[in-house]
């Protein structure tokens, strides 16, 4: 969907009834044939657009695409999500967001895609990114904090995701798995990948990349049993644009409060109450070693607290944590 198509969608969304083809031609400086091509593109994407001779066009239904004209009316934010770049397909929304950030895009700008050809998670793992069913998006952040605090951002995102999912799907039991996953019934429903460009004493920008399995009906063979979607959990489909707006509305106040604090502050209660690992036997893969112990929670600065069998408490700042199943 190019800029002209999005502008026409904005025009139809904001109109009270029909908009004449002549008005659209005049406003956007295009021919009637060009207008018709953009209308056809919107219909192909699932937008209901009525056309009547002598009256013009009227928007009658929206499919819930993660595009500005659908997301903006649902926003309560001042920055996050206000500038939104949508691509039908991208190699990676994180890669595009980095490019936008390097070229001066402001804090809160977002890149979304309907599909990704090279979606990935942590450790360069492939993130399955089919079209038309899930959310793939990246938020540009420019936090004026010490680089030492930047590893806390995935946990801010996790707290906001928990709030947004709980609001959008009442009764859904979502748990947070340190450091960057959201689980439902023990299966992954969201992933978080934060990347940054920084110097010793300042961050140029942070890209918070998020993938949410929304209306996926069938999982790829290689992730069956370890992943899920909102549809698979509830049997219902959800508006991707509404879910995206819910996340933005949840994230901005959490992020703004964090900028004024010295640690995770207000989100610690959420991270503790909805922890997937707390109280369970965990194995952490860290560099070339493995540590095994019982997860005791999250520190105020975002580390995993691990109680070893010998009574020692380790503070884990990075690594991959998994439940350890004794045989």
Same domain, 110 and 34: no
Q: Domain range spanning residue 142?
A: 68-273
Nearest to 81 by CA among 106, 51, 48: 106
Q: Judge if 147 and 26 occupy the same domain.
A: no
Question: Can you give the pLDDT at residue 312?
Answer: 96
Distance CA 169, CA 184 (A): 12
Domain shared by 26 and 103, yes or no: no
Q: Domain total for the chain?
A: 3
Radius of gyration of the chain (CA): 22
Q: Which of 321, 248, 257 is nearest to 291 (CA)?
A: 321
pTM exceeding the 0.85 threshold for the entire prediction: yes
Q: Are residues 157 and 292 in the same domain?
A: no
Q: Please tell me the predicted confidence (pLDDT) of residue 119.
A: 63
Domain edge (last residue) among 61, 86, 109 = 61
**Under 8 Å CB-to-CB from 148, ≥6 apart: which residues?**
none
Question: Is 121 labelled as part of a ligand binding site?
Answer: yes
In this predicted structure, what is the pLDDT of residue 325? 79
**Annotated binding residue 4:** no
- Residue 93 labelled as part of a binding site: yes
pLDDT by residue for the chain (327 residues), tens only, comes to 678 898 999 999 999 999 999 999 999 999 999 999 999 999 988 899 999 999 999 999 998 899 999 999 999 999 999 999 999 899 999 999 999 999 999 999 999 999 988 766 554 565 567 888 999 999 999 999 998 999 999 999 999 999 999 999 999 999 999 999 999 999 999 999 999 998 777 889 999 999 999 999 998 888 888 999 999 999 999 999 999 999 999 999 999 999 999 999 889 999 999 999 999 999 998 878 899 999 999 999 999 999 999 999 999 999 889 998 765
Residue 241 assigned to a binding site: no
Give the tens place of pLDDT for each residue, 216-232: 999 888 888 899 999 99
Q: How many CB atoms lie within 10 A of CB 110?
A: 27
Q: Would you say 149 is a known binding-site residue?
A: no
Q: Got the DSSP string for 26-64?
A: HHHT--HHHHHHHHHHHHHTT-EEEEETTTEEEEEE---
* 240 & 117 share domain: yes
**Domain end call among 255, 273, 291:** 273
- Are 23 and 142 members of one domain? no
> What is the C-alpha separation between 200 and 272, in angstroms, rounded?
31
CA neighbor of 112 nearest in space, from 311, 256, 129, 23: 129
Q: Give the pLDDT score at 316.
A: 94
188 is in an annotated binding site: yes
- Are residues 173 and 317 part of one domain? no
Q: Is 271 helix (H, G, I), strand (E, B) or coil?
A: helix
Claim to verify: residue 148 and residue 240 sit in the same structural domain: yes
Tell me, yes or no, whether 110 and 126 share the same domain: yes
Q: What is the largest CA-CA distance in the chain?
A: 82
- CATH number, domain with residue 149: 3.30.930.10
Q: What is the CATH number of the domain that holds 15?
A: 1.10.10.10
Burial 146-177 (b: 16+ CB within 10 A, else e): eeebbbbbbbbbbbbbbbbbbebbeebebbbb
220 and 73 share a domain?
yes
pLDDT at 3: 80
* Residue 111: per-residue pLDDT: 98
* 289 and 191 within one domain: no
**Residue holding tokens 């997301």?**
71
Instruction: Clarify whether residues 186 and 55 are in a common domain.
Output: no
Final residue in a domain of this structure, among 252, 273, 294? 273
Q: Say what the pLDDT of residue 297 is.
A: 95
* Predicted local distance difference test score (pLDDT) of residue 242: 95
Annotated ligand binding at 120? The verdict is yes
CATH number assigned to the domain comprising residue 311: 2.30.30.100
SS3 268: helix
């Amino acid at each position: 969907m190019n800029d002209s198509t999005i502008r026409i969608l904005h025009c139809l969304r904001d109109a009270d009834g029909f908009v004449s083809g002549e008005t659209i031609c005049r406003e956007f400086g295009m021919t009637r044939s060009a207008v018709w091509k953009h209308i056809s593109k919107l219909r192909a994407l699932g937008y209901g657009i009525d056309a009547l001779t002598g009256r013009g066009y009227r928007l009658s239904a929206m499919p819930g695409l993660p595009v500005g004209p659908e997301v903006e009316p649902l926003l309560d934010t001042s920055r996050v999500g206000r500038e939104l770049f949508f691509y039908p397909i991208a190699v990676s929304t994180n890669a595009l967001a980095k490019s936008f950030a390097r070229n001066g895009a402001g804090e809160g700008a977002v890149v979304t895609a309907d599909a990704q050809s090279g979606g990935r998670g942590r450790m360069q793992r492939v993130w399955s990114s089919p079209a038309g069913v899930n959310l793939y998006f990246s938020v540009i952040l420019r936090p004026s904090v010490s680089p030492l605090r930047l590893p806390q951002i995935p946990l801010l995102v996790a707290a906001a995701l928990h709030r947004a999912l709980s609001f959008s799907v009442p009764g859904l039991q979502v748990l947070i798995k340190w450091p960057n996953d959201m689980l439902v019934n023990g299966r992954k429903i969201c992933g978080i990948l934060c990347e940054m460009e920084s110097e010793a004493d300042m961050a140029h920008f942070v890209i918070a990349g998020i993938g949410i399995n929304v209306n996926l009906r069938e999982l790829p063979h290689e992730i069956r049993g370890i992943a899920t979607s909102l549809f698979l959990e509830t049997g219902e489909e959800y508006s991707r644009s509404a879910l995206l707006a819910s996340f933005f509305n949840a994230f901005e106040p959490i992020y703004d409060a964090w900028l004024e604090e010295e640690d995770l502050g207000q989100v610690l209660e959420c991270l503790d109450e909805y922890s997937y690992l707390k109280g369970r036997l965990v194995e952490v893969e860290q560099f070339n070693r493995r540590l095994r112990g019982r997860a005791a929670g999250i520190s105020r600065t975002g580390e995993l607290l691990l109680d070893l069998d010998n009574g020692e408490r380790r503070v884990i700042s990075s690594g991959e944590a998994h439940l350890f199943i004794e045989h």
